[in-house]
Each structure stands twice: as structure tokens, then as C-alpha cells.
């Protein structure tokens, strides 16, 4: 018999300065007064929402400093932390968009490097996005054990590629983490449908922490951080608010849905993602 687990999602409108964003995160956590084991989830680019890839590259060279600060924060607050993404230097003038998962002892449980890079043209103020110019794509799927079930890590643009999540489901994922910084244009059109589809087809909970609002670099992000059930129901939605959302989720719901509709055993197409 599995249990209810506590999940907190912290939306952010991150600035370009890591110290400001860490201070914001610390202050938000202190207002929550958490008294039980909790998984806290942050958005993509939570540490620094930079003006361009070159600025992110410079931040990436200080990644160990910020990882150490997060480790201490997890020990102090007694939380598991899915730390959205932060740039981590990969060498040769490139960085990984890295999603780091820490436990309550401050240990780095795993790091997922974003696989799918956002090279697209969007009808917004930025017009052109070319993430691959400075970002080194990852190539390893990450599904790890935790007190909150098995967690499958992904980032933002990954959500458009269902094969990744089918592979995570094959590896026993219970909860899919999708930290994001969706544009307002693509967010209005696709954000919720994509997340609900990933939840329904994998029969997993989906937790998607999002950037929200107008950023000092000129970009505007869609927000709507959400927690979605394995049936596709939106259990919590921050919409355009910066207030954290919190939800107790019943992991037994996963087993009930999968027993009633065993799509994994019915699937006649073997996952072969990477």
C-alpha cells in the first residue's frame, strides 16, 4: 500500500541574478512552514533567466557554488528539491540545461540534462529561439527512486516528445517532472493539452513548475504551474500567480488506474527512444 505524499510547486519570475533568485526561493520556503516530507519543484531557468546564451554560459561556470547553497538549503528545510534547471558548464563554450534533484540530506541524487533543445520561431517579442547555440543536449533518461515514488525528470520542450515519457513509464515512473519556461504564445496554445496528454498516456502524475510574467530580459512566460493526476485532471493550477501551490497526492491512485486500464501491457509498440 502506497501513501499520500506532499508536493509543493513554486512559480517564479526569475531575474538575471542568481543571488536574487536564491534569496527569493529561500524566503518562499520559509513562509511555507513545512512539517512533513515534501517534494519542492522549481521552474526551468530558476537560478538565472539570462538575457542570452553567453550570459548563461558565464553563470554555468559557477554552478558548483549554487549547488552547494541548494544542498545546505535542503538540509535546513528538510525537503527534497527538484531544482528546475540551472546552467552547468559542459566544456567547449557550451553548458547543459541541468535539472538537479536533491534529497533532505542535501545529497545530489541525480542530474538530468535537457535532451530536446528549443530551436523555434515564435510570434512573440523574441521571435527567434536557438537554444542549441550554447546548450549541449543531454542523452540520458533519468528515472529515480524517492519517498514520493519513482520520479521521471524532463524539461520544458521535452514535453512535445511523448517517446521520452513512454520510456520513463517503461522504467517505472510514477511522477513526471516538467519544469518549464513556456512562451505566452505557445503556452496559450499547447501547455495544458501537452501536459494532460503525457499524464493520461503514461498514467503518471505530472508536476510542472513554470516561469511566469514579464522578465527583465524582455521575455514573457506563460505561467500556469500545475499538478495533474494520472487520469488527466488538473488538481492545482497557479495560473498567473507567483504563490506556491501545494497538493497531497495519493500514489495509490496510480495503481488503481493502471489496474483498471493496463495500457502498458496493451502497448504493441516497444519503446526505443534513444
| DSSP secondary structure string for all residues of 164-227 | HHHHHHHTT-SEEE--B--BHHHHHHHHHHHHHHHHHHHT-EEEE-BBEEE-TTS-EEE---EE
The reply to whether 87 falls in a domain is yes
User: Which tens digit of pLDDT belongs to each residue from 74-94?
Assistant: 999 999 999 999 999 999 999
What whole-number distance in Å separates Cα of residue 266 and Cα of residue 256?
A: 16
The reply to whether 271 falls in a domain is no
Query: Please, are residues 223 and 216 in contact by the beta-carbon 8 Å criterion?
Result: no
Res. 179: pLDDT tops 80: yes
User: Which tens digit of pLDDT belongs to each residue from 215-250?
Assistant: 998 899 999 999 999 999 999 999 999 999 999 999
The reply to whether 50 falls in a domain is yes
The reply to whether 272 falls in a domain is no
Res. 270: pLDDT tops 90: no
The reply to whether 199 falls in a domain is yes
Provide the CATH number for the domain around residue 200.
3.60.110.10
Res. 3: pLDDT tops 90: no
Q: Which residues face 184 on adjacent strands? A: none
Q: How confident is the model at residue 35 (pLDDT cuts 50, 70, 90)?
A: confident
The reply to whether 118 falls in a domain is yes
pTM of the model: 0.97
The reply to whether 178 falls in a domain is yes
**Annotated catalytic sites, by residue?**
44, 114, 156
Q: Where are the alpha helices (DSSP H) in the chain?
A: 18-32, 53-60, 63-77, 162-170, 184-202, 252-260, 263-266
Three-class DSSP category at 252: helix
What whole-number distance in Å separates Cα of residue 243 and Cα of residue 228?
A: 18
User: Per the structure, how many domains does the chain have?
Assistant: 1
Residue 87, domain extent? 4-266
The reply to whether 53 falls in a domain is yes
Amino acid at each position: 500500500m502506497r501513501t499520500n505524499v506532499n508536493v509543493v510547486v513554486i512559480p517564479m519570475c526569475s531575474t538575471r541574478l542568481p543571488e536574487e533568485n536564491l534569496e527569493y526561493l529561500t524566503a518562499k520556503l520559509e513562509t511555507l512552514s513545512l512539517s512533513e516530507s515534501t517534494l519542492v519543484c522549481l521552474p526551468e531557468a530558476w537560478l538565472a533567466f539570462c538575457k542570452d546564451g553567453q550570459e548563461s554560459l558565464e553563470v554555468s561556470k559557477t554552478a558548483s557554488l549554487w549547488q552547494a547553497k541548494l544542498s545546505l538549503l535542503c538540509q535546513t528545510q528538510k525537503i527534497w528539491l527538484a531544482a528546475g534547471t540551472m546552467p552547468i558548464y559542459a566544456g567547449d563554450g557550451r553548458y547543459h540545461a541541468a535539472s538537479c534533484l536533491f534529497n533532505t540530506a542535501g545529497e545530489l541524487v541525480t542530474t538530468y540534462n535537457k535532451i530536446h533543445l528549443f530551436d523555434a520561431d515564435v510570434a512573440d517579442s523574441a521571435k527567434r529561439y536557438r537554444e542549441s547555440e550554447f546548450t549541449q543536449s543531454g542523452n540520458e533518461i533519468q528515472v529515480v527512486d524517492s519517498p514520493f515514488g519513482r520520479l521521471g525528470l524532463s524539461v520544458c520542450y521535452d514535453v512535445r516528445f511523448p517517446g521520452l515519457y513512454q520510456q520513463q513509464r517503461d522504467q517505472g515512473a510514477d511522477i513526471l517532472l516538467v519544469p518549464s519556461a513556456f512562451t505566452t504564445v505557445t503556452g496559450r496554445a499547447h501547455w495544458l493539452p501537452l501536459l494532460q496528454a503525457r499524464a493520461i498516456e503514461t498514467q503518471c502524475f505530472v508536476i510542472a513548475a513554470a516561469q511566469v510574467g514579464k522578465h527583465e530580459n524582455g521575455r514573457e512566460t506563460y505561467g500556469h504551474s500545475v499538478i495533474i493526476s494520472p487520469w488527466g485532471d488538473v488538481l492545482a493550477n497557479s495560473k498567473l500567480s507567483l504563490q506556491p501551490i501545494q497538493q497531497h497526492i495519493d500514489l495509490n491512485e496510480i495503481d488503481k488506474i493502471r489496474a483498471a486500464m493496463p495500457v502498458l501491457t496493451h502497448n504493441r509498440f516497444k519503446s526505443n527512444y534513444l
